[in-house]
Structure 1
Amino acid sequence: MTPPEQAPRAETNEKAADEYAAERRVRYFTRRRQAKRFLDEVNYPHSIHPALVPGVSVEDQKVRYGIDRIILVAVGAVILGFVAWGVIAPQQVFDLSTAALGWVMRNLGWVFNVLAIGMVLLLVVLAFSRYGKIPLGLDGEKPEYGTASWAAMLFGAGIGIGIIFFGPFEPLTYYLSPRPGAPYDAGSIAAMKGAIAQSALHWGVNAWAIYAIVGLAVAYVSFRRGRVPLMSAIVAGLWGGDSSSPGSRVIDALAIIATLFGTAASLGIGALQIARGVEIVGGLPATGTALAMLIIGVLTLGTIASAVSGVARGIRWLSNINMALALVLAVFIFGVGPTVFLVNIIPGAITEYLGTLPGMLGANMSEGEDMQSFLSSWTTFYWAWWVSWAPFVGVFTAKISRGRTIRQFVLGVLLIPSSIIVLAFAVLGGTAIWLQRRASELDAAGNTVGIADPDRAIAPDGTVDSLPAPAEIFFAVVDQLPGAGIISAIVIVMLAIFFITSADSASLVNSQLSQKGNPTPNRLVTAFWALCMAGIAVVILLFGGQNALQGLQNLIVITALPFAVVLVLMAVALVKELRHDPMAIRDHYQEAAIENAVKHGVAEYGDHFALAIEPTAPDSEYATGGEFDSTAPEVTEWYARTDEDGNPVEYDYEAGAYLDEDGNSLPEDSADEAWRADGASPTAEGVDGAGNR
C-alpha cells in the first residue's frame, strides 16, 4: 500500500507515464506514416524495398523458351566441319592440334593453373564470409533434398569412366615415373604415397572447385535471382543484356563446345577400355580401334534412343545401379586385394597430399622441358578437362542443391565427391602399386632395385615404358585378383552404362544451352548433340593407338581455353551480384544501424539507453542507409517482373502472385503458361544423377 504522504507523487508519476506512452504512440504512428509516404514517393518495383525481396525463382518467371537457331546452326556447323576434317585427314588434325597444344601450354598454361588455385580460394572466402549464409533459393526455403540424399547424388556425380580408366593407371605411372622435381625417387617407399597424392591433386578439391563455381553461379541466378540457367545469364550481370545478344550467344556457344569435347574425350577412352575388355574376356585378338569405333556407334544409338524416347527414369535407374556396382567393386578390390597395405597407406597418402600440395600446385612451365612435358600430359591437361566438364557437372550440382546455403554448397561440393574419388584412386592405384612391388626386388629399405617376376609385374621391366596400354591396365590389375573374369565382365557393363548415361545427360545440358535454358528441351536437338559427341570421339580414336590419348589432350586443352576466360567472368559476376543480395543489404543495414545507435546512445545518455527505430533525415550521421542508394538499378532492376516479351507486369510479393490492371491476382501467376505453350513442363527433372565424368 502506498503511504498517504506518497500518494500525490505516485499519481503524478502514473499520469506522466500515461502521457509519455501516449506521446510514444503518436510518434510511432507518425513515423509509420512518414515511412509509408517515403515508400510511396520512392518507386520501388512492386513497392518492395530491395532489402526485403525474398528472392525470385526462375520457375516463377514468365519465360518463353525456344530453339536458339543461331547457336544451334553455328556450333553444329563448326562441330560437323571438324568431324568431317578429322575423318578425312586425321593425321593433319593431330599434327596441327599438337602444335597448337604446345603453344597454348608454353604461353597460356598458367591460365588453367591460376584457375585451379584461384577458384578454391574464392569459394572458401565466400563460404566463410557473410555471403555464406545466403540461400540458393528464396528466403526460408528448405533444401530440396535431405543431406544424405544430397551427399549421395554428389558422390554419383564423381563416379564414371575416368575413375576406372585412370584409377590404377595414373598412380602406378607416378610411382614408376614421379613428377620432375618430386621429393622421392621412382619405385621408392616415398613414391607410393607421393603417387596417390599426385592423383589426389588432379581429381580432388581443385577439380571440384572448377565445377563448384559454375554450379554455385547457376544455382544462385536461377533459384535466387530468377534467371534461366545459362552461362550467359550469369555473365550478363557484368554488362546487362539478355541471352539473345551476340556476346551472350558466344558465351553459351563456348560452353557447348567445351562440353562436347570434354565429354567426347571421356566417351573415347571409355570405348577404348570396353573394347580392350571385350578382347581380354572373350579371348579375341587385338583389333586396334576398330572395335572401339563399333562400340561408340552401338552405344550412341542407345543414347539417342534414350534421348528421343525420354526414358529419363530408366537412365536414373541405370545410374543408381552403376553407383551400387562401383561401390561393390571398390569394396571387393579392397577386401580381396592388399587390404592391410591399403589401410596403412591411405592415411599416409592423405597426409602426403596435404603436405606437398603447395609444391604440386607450384609446378610450372618455366621449370624445364621435363616439367613442361609432365604438366602438358597431366596437371594442366586435367585442369583443362575439368573446365570443359564444368558446364555439365555445374548444372547438375546446381539442380540438386536448391535451398542449400552458399556455405553448405561450397563445403559439400568441394569435400564430399573429392573425398570419395581420392579413396577410389587410393584403392585402385594402391592395389596396382602393391602388385608391381610384389613382383619386384626390394632392398633393405623397401625400395625397388629390380624385377623378380616379370610375368606377375604390371610393368615387366619396372619402368613406365613397359606398362600396358592405359585401357588395359585395369584388367591387368584385376587379372591377378580372385574372380577376375566375373569382375572384368561387370566392369565392361559398368563402362557401357556410364557411356550412355554420361552422353545422354551431357547432351541434355547442351540441348538446354541451345534452347534458351529450356528445362525440357527438344529431344531431337538432344539427339543431335549426342551424335556430335560421338563424332568427336571417333576423330579422337582415328588418331590411333597411343596417339588417341595425346589427341584427347590436344583437343581438350585447346577447346577449354576460351571457356576458362568465361569462368573467370562468371566468378566476378557472381561476387558482384552477391554484394547486392537482399540478405547482404540487410546485413549492411544491421551493422550500420547498431553501430550508429550505440554511438548515439552513449553520446546522449551515457550507460543507460535502449535502441529504438525512428526515421532520420537522409543526410543524418545516424542514417542507417545514408550511403546506400536503394533505388539504384543494380539493386532494383533484377526483381522487377516482366512478361515473356520483357514488358513490365505487376506482382504482389506478399501474395506471390501476378496482378492484372485492376490489381487482382491472376489465376495463372507463374511461368506455367509459357512452358505449356512450348510443350514443356516447369516441373521437369532436367539433369539427373547420370552426371558422371
Structure 2
Amino acid sequence: MKKVSKAVFGISVLIAILFILWGSVMPEQAATATGNVQALIQDKFGWFYLLSATGFLVFVLSLIFTRLGNIRLGKDNEEPEYSYITWFAMLFSAGMGIGLVFWGVAEPLSHFSAPPTGDAGTREAAKNAMQYSLFHWGLHPWAIYTLIALALAYFKFRKEAPGVISATFYPLLGDKVKGPIGKTIDILAVFATIFGVATSLGFGAAQISGGLSFLMEGIQNNFTTQLIIIIVVTVLFMASAWSGLNKGIKYLSNINITLAVALMFFLLFSGPTKFIMDFFTTTLGNYVQELPRMSLNLNPFESSKQAEWTQSWTVFYWAWWISWAPFVGTFIARVSRGRTIREFVLGVLAVPTIFSALWFSVLGGSGIYAEMFDKAGIVDVINNQGAEIALFKLLESVPLGTVLSVIAILLISTFFITSADSATFVLGMQTTNGSLNPPQSVKLTWGVIQAASAAVLLWAGGLQGLQTASIIAAFPFTFVLIGMAVSLMKSLREEKPITKTKGFGSAETK
C-alpha cells in the first residue's frame, strides 16, 4: 500500500477498534452518549438532511437533460463490463437488499398503525403509509448513491484517478487531496461505511433471529442468537469475499434477485392480486404528485407528534442512505464502467425505484390487506415482538407459509453476505489507494471489524443503537457529498462538446 493509504487504513482501523472496545466494555455509557448526539443532530439539523438529499436528487436529474449526459464513464469507445441484468442485480443487492426484506412489511404497517397525521387504521392511513414507504426507498436514496458513484466512476475510469473519495476533489483542491485534507475525506468515508453497513447487518441478524424464533421452539430472539448468526454469516461472507468480485458477489447477487423476485411474485399471485396492483398504481401516482411536498416538509407549525415522526423516519432514512453512500457508491462505480452518464443516472434511479414500489406494494400491501380485512394481528406483533417479526407473521397466513419463511431467511442471509462481501471490497479499495484488487488481509480485517461493529451496536442499543450510529456517521459525510457535487460539475463543464450519439447511452466526442 502507498504511504497515504497506510495512514488512512491505520487511523480508520484505530477509530473502529476504539469504538468497538468502548461499546463492549461500557455499553450503557456508549448508548447514552451516542443517543444524546443523535438527538442533537436530528433536532437541530433535520432541515440540513432534507435539503441535502433533495438537492442531490435535483442535481443528478439535471444531468440527464444536458449534453453532459452523453459523456461516457470511461474512454469514448468503451463498452460496459456487465450485462444489464447482472448490473441491476449487483447494484440492487448491494444497495438495499436487507433493508427491503426487513422493512417491506414492517414499515407500511408501522405507518398504518401510527401515521404522522390523521387516524390510525383508516383507508387514508393505508394510502399514506404506502406513499411514505416509497418516499423513503425511492428516488432520494438512489440519487445519493448516484451522485457518489457517478463521481467515482467518472474520475476513476475517464480521468484515471485513484478510486478513492478524496480523488474526486482534485478539481477543487488540486494536489491538496494527497495531504491531510484528502486523508480526512477518506477516513470520513470509511467511518460512514463501517457504521452504515453495520446498521444493515444488525437489521439482518435481528430478522434472521426473529424468523428462526418464530418458526422453531427453543430458539430465543435475543442478543446471543443474533451474535451466533453474525459469526456464522461472517465466515460465509469472508469466504465469498476471498473468491473475488466476479465469483462470489456476482453469483450471490444473481441468487438474491432470483429469490426476491420469486417471493414477491408468489405473494402477488397467491394473495389479493387486484388490490395489490391497484395499490401499486395509486401509490406511484400519489408519490409523483406529493414528492416536492414530502421532500421538504418538517412540519414546523404542526404538532410535536408530526415533527417527531419526520425526525424518527425521514431524517433517519436520509442519514442511513448517506452513511451507506461511500460503500454503495464505490461498488456501483466499480461495476458501471463504460456506461454514459445519462444511461447510468436513468438506470440507477429508475429501475430500483420502480422495483421498490412494486416490492412494498406486494409485501406491505398484502400486510395492510390482511390487517384491515382479515384482522391478521401483524401490528400487534410489531408492537409486542418487534418489527423483525412482521414478515414472518404475514407469511404465516399465506399458502406454503413455512416454506416461504425458510426462503425468506435464506434471502436475508444471502443479502447479508452480499452486503458485507461488497463492503469488505469497498473498504479495501478505500484504504489501498483505490486498488481494484485489495489484498485479502485488508479485506479480512474489514470483515471482522464490520461484524464486530454490528454486534456491539446490537449489544449497546439494539435496533435503536443501529439507527443512532447511522445518523451520527452520516452528518460529517454529507458535507463531503456536497463538495463532490461541486467538484464533479466543475470537471464536467470542461469536457469537449458531444457531436454524435449512437443509441441509448452510446456517444462520440470530437
Aligned-partner SS, 1:333: helix
Q: Distance in 1 between matches of 2:384 and 2:360?
A: 18
Is 2:482 aligned against 1:568?
A: yes
Report how many aligned residue pairs link the two structures: 500
Q: Distance in 2 between matches of 1:347 and 1:309?
A: 42
Higher helix share: 2
How has the CA–CA distance of structure 1 residues 147 and 274 changed in structure 2, closer, same or farther, with 3 Å as cutoff?
Answer: closer
Q: 1:248 aligns with which of 182, 187, 191?
A: 182
Could you tell me how far 1:308 is from its partner in structure 2?
A: 4.2
Q: Distance in 2 between matches of 1:552 and 1:235?
A: 30
Letter paired with 2:358: L
Could you tell me how far 1:148 is from its partner in structure 2?
A: 4.9
Could you tell me how far 1:494 is from its partner in structure 2?
A: 1.6
Q: Is the 8 A contact 2:238 2:421 kept in 1?
A: yes
Letter paired with 1:302: L
Q: Where does 1:491-530 land on structure 2 (aligned, <5 Å)?
A: 491-530=408-447
Q: Is the 8 A contact 1:124 1:410 kept in 2?
A: yes
Gaps (5+ residues) in structure 1?
Answer: 1-63, 441-455, 588-693
Q: Where does 1:228-307 land on structure 2 (aligned, <5 Å)?
A: 228-241=162-175, 244-307=178-241
Q: Is the 8 A contact 2:169 2:177 kept in 1?
A: no
How big is each residue's C-alpha offset from its partner over 1:368-396, in whole Å with a ceiling of 9 and x where there is no partner? 53233212321011111111111121122
Could you tell me how far 1:428 is from its partner in structure 2?
A: 0.6
Q: Where does 1:361-376 land on structure 2 (aligned, <5 Å)?
A: 361-364=295-298, 366-367=300-301, 368-376=303-311
Could you tell me how far 1:158 is from its partner in structure 2?
A: 4.4
Gaps (5+ residues) in structure 2?
Answer: 501-510
How has the CA–CA distance of structure 1 residues 152 and 302 changed in structure 2, closer, same or farther, with 3 Å as cutoff?
Answer: closer
Structure 1 counterpart of 2:356: 421
How has the CA–CA distance of structure 1 residues 306 and 66 changed in structure 2, closer, same or farther, with 3 Å as cutoff?
Answer: farther
Q: Where does 1:580-659 land on structure 2 (aligned, <5 Å)?
A: 580-583=494-497
Q: Distance in 2 between matches of 1:321 and 1:309?
A: 16
- Please, what TM-score do these two structures have when normalized by structure 1? 0.69
Q: Is the 8 A contact 2:322 2:477 kept in 1?
A: yes
Letter paired with 1:78: I
Structure 2 counterpart of 1:212: 146
How has the CA–CA distance of structure 1 residues 210 and 107 changed in structure 2, closer, same or farther, with 3 Å as cutoff?
Answer: same
Q: Distance in 2 between matches of 1:145 and 1:308?
A: 21
Is 2:392 aligned against 1:475?
A: yes
Could you tell me how far 1:438 is from its partner in structure 2?
A: 1.7
Q: 1:119 aligns with which of 53, 56, 74?
A: 56
Structure 1 counterpart of 2:44: 107
Letter paired with 1:488: S
Aligned-partner SS, 1:366: coil
Letter paired with 1:404: R
Q: Distance in 1 between matches of 2:163 and 2:206?
A: 34
Could you tell me how far 1:186 is from its partner in structure 2?
A: 2.0
Q: Is the 8 A contact 1:236 1:248 kept in 2?
A: no
Q: Is the 8 A contact 2:94 2:422 kept in 1?
A: no
Q: Is the 8 A contact 1:138 1:403 kept in 2?
A: yes
- Please, what TM-score do these two structures have when normalized by structure 2? 0.93
Structure 2 counterpart of 1:557: 471
Q: Distance in 2 between matches of 1:459 and 1:560?
A: 30
Q: Distance in 2 between matches of 1:408 and 1:72?
A: 34
Q: Is the 8 A contact 1:243 1:516 kept in 2?
A: no
Q: Is the 8 A contact 1:256 1:510 kept in 2?
A: yes
Letter paired with 1:263: V
Q: 1:185 aligns with which of 119, 123, 133?
A: 119
Q: Where does 1:341-356 land on structure 2 (aligned, <5 Å)?
A: 341-356=275-290
How has the CA–CA distance of structure 1 residues 185 and 355 changed in structure 2, closer, same or farther, with 3 Å as cutoff?
Answer: farther
Q: Distance in 1 between matches of 2:413 and 2:383?
A: 28
Structure 1 counterpart of 2:449: 532
How big is each residue's C-alpha offset from its partner over 1:227-261, in whole Å with a ceiling of 9 and x where there is no partner? 11110000122010165311111111111110110
How has the CA–CA distance of structure 1 residues 372 and 530 changed in structure 2, closer, same or farther, with 3 Å as cutoff?
Answer: farther
Could you tell me how far 1:495 is from its partner in structure 2?
A: 1.5
Q: Is the 8 A contact 1:336 1:481 kept in 2?
A: yes
Q: Distance in 1 between matches of 2:110 and 2:404?
A: 23
How big is each residue's C-alpha offset from its partner over 1:385-440, in whole Å with a ceiling of 9 and x where there is no partner? 11111112112222332222211111111111111112101111001101101235
Could you tell me how far 1:153 is from its partner in structure 2?
A: 4.2
Q: Distance in 1 between matches of 2:398 and 2:249?
A: 31
Q: Distance in 2 between matches of 1:296 and 1:409?
A: 34
Is 2:374 aligned against 1:457?
A: no
Q: Is the 8 A contact 1:155 1:420 kept in 2?
A: no
Letter paired with 1:539: V
Structure 1 counterpart of 2:79: 142
Aligned-residue sequence identity (percent) comes to 38
